[in-house]
Amino acid sequence: MNSDALIHKISELRTAGADQFDPVRFRYIEALALRAHGSRQPLGQRLTEKSAASLADYLASRGANRADNKAIKSRPGTATVASLAALRRALDASQTRPTVGASDFEQQLQDQEGELLQGALFASSLGTEAAAEPLSDNVDVAVKPLKSSQSLRVHQQRRAAEKRVELAIAEGPESPGPLNPQMLAIKALSIMRDISPHYLNRYVAYLDTLFWVEQLDTAASTKADKKNSRVGSRAKAKKKSV
């Protein structure tokens, strides 16, 4: 390629916006080609060859970068989320129920707070003498949970989430590939657990919300499809009868 053809090609590439990939590098190649065009032989030929080789490397780097960007954009963005969803469903299926002792203790707290609130309400409305008599079964009392019961419930939920994460990390896939979605999700959970367990609990709660919304959307769409199917069947039956 002579210097005139090289300069023409560089001009076309600039018009097409190829210089935006690396403007400084492209300007250096262009300046080298212009210098080769104004130099005597054999220096001009050597500069032309150097400029042409630099331009070829530039275009190769630009093409590789565009291919990488295209691959990243075409990669499914929900792969990790889907993997986490499958992992969560598997953990929920194998999760054991809380111990009987913890459930009995929580039930006792709820019974005690209910009795206390009923007694306080009855004493304030009828007086101190009637406070010892039990309330009628027809009286509907809005029971507000005590702080101790709420704290126990929050602790149990947090501990259940921690157990799910520990089980997910322990039951990771054997010999996974470097881009295995489940292994990447497990690695992310491990890092979050080491850096901030509190943030990990919030992240698990966020995933619970996402899964709940996903199930809600699926149920709504299924219901709408069934309704449309029934409407279509009725319309077809009406046409046949006419």
pLDDT 10s digits, 1-47: 787 888 889 999 999 988 888 888 899 888 888 888 888 888 888 88
Cα separation of 233 and 128, whole Å?
A: 68
Tokens of 181: 């979605």
Tokens of 219: 């149920």
Range 88-111 burial, b when 16+ CB lie within 10 A, else e: beebeeeeeeeeeeeeeebeebee
Q: What is the mean pLDDT of the chain?
A: 72
Tell me what pLDDT residue 115 has.
63
Tell me what pLDDT residue 231 has.
62
Comparing 128 with 184, which gets the higher pLDDT?
Answer: 184
Please report how the helices 147-170 and 181-195 are oriented relative to each other, as an axis angle in degrees rounded to 10: 130
Burial class (CB in 10 A: 0-12, 13-18, 19+), 54: middle
Of 14-18, 205-209, 233-237, the range with the lowest mean pLDDT is: 233-237
Cα separation of 185 and 197, whole Å?
A: 16
- In this structure, the dihedral spanned by the alpha carbons of residues 122, 124, 126 and 132, taken in order and rounded to 10 degrees, is 50
Percent of the chain with pLDDT over 90: 2
Contacts of residue 134, Cβ cutoff 8 Å, sequence gap at least 6: 118
Q: In Å, how far are 128, 131, 145, 159 from 112, measured between CA atoms?
A: 20, 16, 10, 25
- From start to end of 22-61, where are the E strands? none
Of 82-91, 92-101, 153-162, the range with the lowest mean pLDDT is: 92-101
Residue with the two structure tokens 């954009």: 73
The pTM assigned to this predicted structure is 0.31
Average pLDDT over residues 93-109: 55
Cα separation of 41 and 50, whole Å?
A: 14
Comparing 165 with 94, which gets the higher pLDDT?
Answer: 165
